[in-house]
Amino acid sequence: MTEVLVLRGTLEGHNGWVTRLVTTPSNPDLLLSASRDKTLITWQLTRDEQSYGYPKRALKGHSHIVSDAVISPDGAFAISSSWDKTLRLWKLETGESVSRFVGHEGDVLSVSISSNSRHIVSGSRDKTIKVWNTVGDCVHTLKSHNDWVSTVKFFPTSESTNFLSVGWDKVVKVCFSPSNYSKGLAQRFDFLQRFRF
């Protein structure tokens, strides 16, 4: 027997294409969406018959398309990346932008946070990967790709600072230590733009 999926609701609030949807196990009734309208929206799911959820808060501060977003493992913060060449750290309870990460010279396409919430990694059209601390200081800049870095992703293991990067140069790279990034493993694939766990 095949399970039947039923549409339970539609969440409306953005004025542009939605680029990312994020959930977190620490708060399953919270959704975060990012959009080409330069905003993020936190959504509260209600799961009732009238409305499945509502927009709780709009997060405004980016001056260009919001390309990616992640929620911290504890569910208290979100990090967004944008074509305005920055990242922002948001306090989800208030919607306040508490840190702005400046340093990329091109659109930031992807962001990821480590499972211990101590490191943030970003990939950009400037062909670099940057590793940041949570107050917005860039602690490493990695120049290993020959084209846009389209996706970065930390391994989901506890205390791990290992991450993957994928670029338009048709390469997936595994970084075991930011200082030894150029020695990481690389495997060529036919064009691979996104890699998600």
Domain segments of the chain as ranges: 18-188
pLDDT of 139 above 70: yes
Domain 18-188 part of CATH 3.90.1150.10: no
Calculate mean pLDDT across residues 98-119: 95
The alpha carbon dihedral of 146, 64, 9, 75 has a sign of positive
Question: Which pLDDT score, from 0 to 100, does residue 148 have?
Answer: 96
pLDDT of 86 above 80: yes
Question: Which pLDDT score, from 0 to 100, does residue 158 have?
Answer: 60
pLDDT of 2 above 70: yes
Return mean pLDDT, the chain: 87
Q: How far apart are CA 173 and CA 144, in angstroms?
A: 9
pLDDT in tens, 145-175: 999 999 999 988 766 678 899 999 998 888 8
pLDDT grade, residue 144 (50/70/90)? confident
Q: What is the residue type of 51?
A: S
Calculate mean pLDDT across residues 47-65: 91
